[in-house]
A and B are shown apart, each in its own frame.
Chain A
Amino acid sequence: MLDRLLTELPQFLGYYNVIFLAKAALATVALAAVGSVTGSLVGLLLAVARLTRSHWLAPIRWVAVIFTELFRRIPFLVTLMLVFFAFQLSGVDLPLFVVALTAVFLIAAAYLAEIIRSGFESVHRNQWDAAQAMNFSLIETVRYIVLPQAWRVILPPAFAFFVMFIKDTALASQIGVIELTYAGKVLNNKGFSAALVFGTLLLLYFFISYPLARLGAHLEARLAGARHQ
């Protein structure tokens, strides 16, 4: 097995294969990054929506609760298929990358809404009461009082979510998005041995994910330290 790997290696590391894999790796990171950033914006809206108290806004609260509960309980693969077929039926001709991005976005919004909500809960009750006593509106309270304190609690798990999704987007290969795992399958179909191709994939994912995970751990240690001073 090993000698076969060694004989294939020079050809495997050819110019076009390396470029192909690099582009695919970029797509993998872009999928997770763009999905997480857009997801966090909508997640923030969902978390704020759940804080409203007015009777008139009750339907919005319910939508926010149902959305966050639902998309955290559906596997990424199933969400991906639903989005894929929904786009197909609507007749809109979008690149597969956008289809996968939509699925990542939906799940990211749900998870990040929950992360942001628990960040909000970490801010002491007195702070909310003080804001109310000073006649701050909900938006002002979140903007000037809660977020400046809560972001330290929110950032580490949100970053961990992003790193987790770099790995989870491997499933997007199932609908044909050209990301790292799909690129690996293409190279495997071209005749390179599975051990070589999938071993390389494991290493590539590791070299993307590990430094980011370390950065996340560092971030968590620093922010938690600053918080308890």
Chain B
Amino acid sequence: MSYTLQFGQIWPYLPSLLAGAWLSLQIAFVAFCGGLLIGTAGATALSFGAGPLRRLVRGYVTFFTNTPQLVQIYFLYFALPDAGILLSSYTAVLIGMTLNAGAYLTDIQRAGFESVRSSEMEAAEVLGFGRMQQVRYVILPHVARVLFPPLSNQYIIMTLGTSMAAIFGVEELTGRAFNINSQTFRSIEVFSVTAALYVVITLVATVVLGLIGRFAFRARMRLV
């Protein structure tokens, strides 16, 4: 058995892979933003909501964080048509990733809310801050500083998680790699170039998010 690596056959497909990487970034970004909305609502409900609402949110978070995202999307994609809801693979992946992200981001944001100590709020009250001033000058800066590092970490994890979409035929980075592999059969080459592209896009994301975190929120973050 001798196999010689021939990256030359892969280069013509590089633009296609890059387009796939762009789609991966889009999916991660949209799902993250959706998840952030759900997470903010969920964490607010957990911190200030009434009993039944809290239990409902807790149930949602517990269920989605304890089951695989892949099987959640399988359920959306294959089981919902039985109930007459037909989703395209792209929509199913996006909804699945958003719901999954929402659960994790609820948990992360709740921890961030809880990190505001009551003594800080009392100090703000003593200084005569109004409710909105407390939110603007005490809670938000504190929460942003504490939350930015775990949120950007989650964003990186989600960028890697988008590779799951390939299984449903979405043509993002890994999906394109599957297609190119079945056209050229240069498996090792295709998948190592794909892996390298993931390393590059997550490294760029880490550096950019680290810079934003350091200078905008004064968060303690490692750049690499």
Q: Is B134 an interface residue (CB 8 A)?
A: no
Q: Which of B54-70 contact A (CB under 8 A)?
A: 62-63, 65-70
Q: Could you give 14 example pairs across A and B, Cβ below 8 Å?
A: A69-B199, A74-B199, A76-B163, A77-B163, A77-B174, A82-B192, A167-B68, A168-B68, A193-B82, A194-B79, A194-B81, A195-B75, A201-B74, A210-B62
What is the bound-complex CA distance between A160 and B190, given in angstroms? 32
Given contacts A69-B224, A194-B78, A198-B78, contact A77 B188 (CB under 8 A): no
Distance (whole angstroms) from the CB of A166 to the closest CB of chain B: 8
Q: Shortest 3 CB-CB distances between A and B: which pairs?
A: A75-B163, A194-B78, A195-B79
What is the bound-complex CA distance between A210 and B65, given in angstroms? 9
Q: Which of B132-173 contact A (CB under 8 A)?
A: 156, 160-164, 166-167
Task: Give the residue name and chain of the B residue nearest to A167 (CB).
Answer: B68
Distance (whole angstroms) from the CB of A197 to the closest CB of chain B: 8
Q: Is B3 an interface residue (CB 8 A)?
A: yes
Number of A-B residue pairs with CB-CB distance less than 8 Å in the complex they form: 116
Given contacts A70-B199, A194-B82, A199-B75, contact A78 B177 (CB under 8 A): yes
Q: Quick one: which of B69, B83, B198 contacts A195, CB cutoff 8 A?
A: B83
Pairwise interchain contact B198-A73, C-beta atoms closer than 8 A:
yes
Distance (whole angstroms) from the CB of B7 to the closest CB of chain A: 14
Pairwise interchain contact A202-B198, C-beta atoms closer than 8 A:
no
Task: Give the residue name and chain of the A residue nearest to B196 (CB).
Answer: A74
What is the bound-complex CA distance between A173 and B1, given in angstroms? 27
Interface residues on B, range: 35 or more
Pairwise interchain contact B75-A198, C-beta atoms closer than 8 A:
yes
Chain A residues lying within 8 Å of B16, measured Cβ to Cβ, are none
What is the bound-complex CA distance between A167 and B100, given in angstroms? 12
Given contacts A193-B79, A194-B74, contact A170 B68 (CB under 8 A): yes
Pairwise interchain contact A195-B82, C-beta atoms closer than 8 A:
yes
* B171-203 to A contact mask, C-beta < 8 Å, 1/0: 000100100000000011001101100110011
Distance (whole angstroms) from the CB of A56 to the closest CB of chain B: 25
What is the bound-complex CA distance between A173 and B75, given in angstroms? 15
Spot the interface stretch: A83-91, A123-131, A137-145, A148-156: A83-91
Interface residues on A, range: 35 or more
Chain B residues lying within 8 Å of A202, measured Cβ to Cβ, are 63, 67, 71-72, 75
Q: Which of B68, B199, B202 has the most CB of A within 10 A?
A: B68
Task: Give the residue name and chain of the B residue nearest to A168 (CB).
Answer: B68
With contacts A75-B174, A195-B83 known, what are 6 further pairs, Cβ within 8 A?
Answer: A89-B188, A167-B69, A184-B71, A194-B79, A205-B66, A205-B67
Pairwise interchain contact A181-B82, C-beta atoms closer than 8 A:
no
* A66-105 to B contact mask, C-beta < 8 Å, 1/0: 0001100111111101100110111100000000000000
Task: Give the residue name and chain of the B residue nearest to A90 (CB).
Answer: B1
Chain B residues lying within 8 Å of A195, measured Cβ to Cβ, are 75, 79, 82-83
Task: Give the residue name and chain of the B residue nearest to A169 (CB).
Answer: B68
What is the bound-complex CA distance between A79 and B195, given in angstroms? 8
Distance (whole angstroms) from the CB of B89 to the closest CB of chain A: 14
Distance (whole angstroms) from the CB of B39 to the closest CB of chain A: 18
What is the bound-complex CA distance between A188 and B79, given in angstroms? 10
Chain A residues lying within 8 Å of B162, measured Cβ to Cβ, are 75
Pairwise interchain contact B82-A78, C-beta atoms closer than 8 A:
no
What is the bound-complex CA distance between A188 and B71, given in angstroms? 13
Q: Which of A75, A91, A206 has the most CB of B within 10 A?
A: A75
Q: Is A213 an interface residue (CB 8 A)?
A: yes
Q: Is A209 an interface residue (CB 8 A)?
A: yes
What is the bound-complex CA distance between A181 and B72, given in angstroms? 11
Chain A residues lying within 8 Å of B167, measured Cβ to Cβ, are 77, 171, 174
Chain A residues lying within 8 Å of B69, measured Cβ to Cβ, are 167, 170
Chain A residues lying within 8 Å of B194, measured Cβ to Cβ, are 78
Chain A residues lying within 8 Å of B70, measured Cβ to Cβ, are 170-171, 173, 181
Q: Is A1 an interface residue (CB 8 A)?
A: yes
Q: Is A227 an interface residue (CB 8 A)?
A: no
Q: Is A218 an interface residue (CB 8 A)?
A: no
Given contacts A75-B198, A82-B191, A174-B167, contact A206 B78 (CB under 8 A): no
